Every structure is written in structure tokens, then in C-alpha cells.
Structure 1
Amino acid sequence: MAKTWVDKDTCIACGACYSTCPDVYESDDDGYAFVKLEGGLEGFVEVPEEFLSDAQDAKDGCPTESVRWED
């Protein structure tokens, strides 16, 4: 199963990921993205199958490649 995380050091708070896949990504108070699934603040998190397509679109749409992906 695919896993994802957000690199907070390169995120520019553009909102592309959480607009594309709000079931997996969310913004903090400053607009920076994070994975909102359980364990999302600790590193790679498994993406439930029902969200895989949208999460992949969010990764592909990130202008700074901050949304990371691991198979």
C-alpha cells in the first residue's frame, strides 16, 4: 500500500494538496499542509485505498514536491 507524508521544510502553504484530497491532507493554522490521518505527524502514513487516486493527484499537483510518496 502507498504511504505519504508532507515535507514541512519545503511546503509553501499553497493549498493544492488539501484542496485536491481533503480526506488525507489538511492545513495547520498557518496554511502549511500535513497528513491528517492517524500518525501523519510522525512520518509516512498508509493511504487508504479509497483515497489513493486523489492523494496521487495531490502529490502530482504539489508545486514544490513537498507531498512525498512511497510504495
Structure 2
Amino acid sequence: MAIVIDHDECIGCESCVEICPEVFEMDADGEKATVIAPDSTLACVDEAIETCPNEAISK
């Protein structure tokens, strides 16, 4: 299953980027997170999902 960020819910806190930079990065404006490896199976993805304050990440 692909990793997805709901951009309407993302507040740009960067927690997912800090936890799992292999999968997430900030967009060109630095306002929202984006997924750069949607098919990743790294364990840090689950931690990023659990840490997201707005529950904007799913898979």
C-alpha cells in the first residue's frame, strides 16, 4: 500500500521528515510534507504516522 499525506491536514510540523527523511521531505515552499518514497517499508514510516499531530499520514 502506498504512503499518502493528506495535504489539507498537514500543518508542516516536519516531524515526519525528521523521523524518516528517506521517505518524507518538505515541499518546495517548505510548507507541507510530501512523500518521496511511497512504497517504502521502512519501520520509521510507522513511527512517523504515529507521531503526526494531525494524523495526516496513512498507508
TM-score (norm 2): 0.86
Q: CA RMSD in A?
A: 1.2
Q: Specify the alignment match of 2:47 in structure 1.
A: 57
- Alignment identity in percent? 31
Can you give the 5+ residue segments of structure 2 that lack an aligned partner in the other structure? none
TM-score with structure 1 setting the length: 0.73
Of Structure 1 and Structure 2, the greater strand share is in: 1
> Structure 1: any 5+ residue segments left out of the alignment?
38-44
1:14 and 2:22 correspond: no
Aligned residues: 58
